[in-house]
C-alpha cells in the first residue's frame, strides 16, 4: 500500500471468507468485508443442509435443448421450499405467488409426457421408430393431456393469496390472449400437432 501510495485511499478489503485470506487482511490492519455473493452461497448451502437436501443447482431453460423447460420447472418444484426461503431473504420481489406455483406444478405432468416421448425416440436403437410405436406415443400424449385438462376443470385453481403485480398480470394476460387465439379449444393442441408431424417424418 505504501509503495503504491494508496494507504490513505483504502478503508477496507473485500474477499471471500477463506480463513487465510481473512487473516492476511487483518494482519495488515485493514478492515475485512466478506464477499456478499460468497456469503450468500454459504447461507444457501447451510439451508440445504438443514433441510437435508442434496446440493443441486437450479437449471435454466435453453431454447435449443429438448426438454429443458421440463428440467427447469421440475428442479425448481423439487427445491420449492429452499427457493421460497432464499428469495424471501434476498429477492422477495421475485417470489412466485400461490397461483404461479400451481401453474408450474400443473405444467410438469404435461411436459413430462413430451419428455418421455422425446427420450424414447432419441434413444431408439435402430435409429427410427416403427409406425405402430409412433401411434402409441402420440396416443399417450393425447390421453395424458386430456386427463390433465379434466383434472384442471374438475378442480379449478383457488384464488391467489394477494393480488399479482401489474407487470405480472399484464404478462399473463398477454400470454393467455395469444394462446387463446392460436388454440381456442385445446391449449395443448398445437404441441400435439407439432409432435405428430415430427414423429411422422421419414428418417
Q: What local confidence, expressed as pLDDT, does residue 74 receive?
A: 92
**Backbone φ and ψ of 13, nearest 5°:** -125, 130
Give the C-alpha separation, 107 to 104, whole Å.
Answer: 5
Under a CB-based contact definition with an 8 Å cutoff, are residues 31 and 13 in contact? yes
Name the H helices within 67-157.
Answer: 68-78, 80-90, 98-122, 131-154
Give the C-alpha separation, 139 to 177, whole Å.
Answer: 28
Cα angle 90-96-99, degrees, rounded to a multiple of 5: 160
C-alpha cell belonging to residue 124: 431408439
Give pLDDT tens digits along the chain (203 positions): 778 888 788 888 888 878 888 888 888 888 888 888 778 777 777 877 777 777 777 888 888 787 888 999 999 998 888 788 878 877 888 888 989 999 889 888 888 878 887 777 776 555 454 544 554 555 555 655 555 555 555 555 544 444 444 555 565 666 566 556 554 455 555 566 666 666 666 65
Enclosing H/E stretch for 63: none
Q: Is the pTM of this model over 0.75?
A: no
CA quadruple 196, 180, 60, 64: dihedral, nearest 10: 40
Q: Which of 67, 55, 72 is nearest to 112 (CA)?
A: 67
Amino acid at each position: 500500500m505504501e509503495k503504491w501510495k494508496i494507504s490513505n485511499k483504502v478503508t477496507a478489503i473485500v474477499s471471500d471468507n477463506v480463513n487465510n485470506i481473512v487473516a492476511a487482511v487483518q494482519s495488515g490492519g485493514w478492515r475485512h468485508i466478506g464477499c456478499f455473493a460468497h456469503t450468500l452461497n454459504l447461507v444457501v448451502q447451510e439451508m440445504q443442509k438443514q433441510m437435508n437436501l442434496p446440493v443441486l443447482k437450479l437449471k435454466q431453460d435453453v431454447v435449443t435443448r429438448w426438454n429443458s423447460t421440463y428440467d427447469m420447472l421440475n428442479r425448481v418444484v423439487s427445491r420449492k421450499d429452499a427457493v421460497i426461503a432464499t428469495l424471501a431473504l434476498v429477492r422477495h420481489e421475485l417470489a412466485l405467488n400461490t397461483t404461479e406455483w400451481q401453474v408450474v406444478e400443473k405444467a410438469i405432468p404435461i411436459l413430462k409426457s413430451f419428455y418421455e416421448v422425446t427420450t424414447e425416440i432419441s434413444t431408439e436403437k435402430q435409429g427410427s421408430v416403427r409406425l405402430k410405436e409412433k401411434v402409441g406415443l402420440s396416443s399417450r400424449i393425447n390421453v395424458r393431456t386430456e386427463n390433465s385438462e379434466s383434472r384442471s376443470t374438475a378442480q379449478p385453481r383457488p384464488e391467489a393469496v394477494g393480488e399479482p403485480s401489474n407487470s405480472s398480470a399484464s404478462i399473463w394476460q398477454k400470454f393467455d390472449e395469444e394462446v387463446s387465439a392460436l388454440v381456442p379449444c385445446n391449449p395443448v393442441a398445437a404441441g400435439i400437432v407439432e409432435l405428430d408431424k415430427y414423429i411422422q417424418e421419414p428418417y
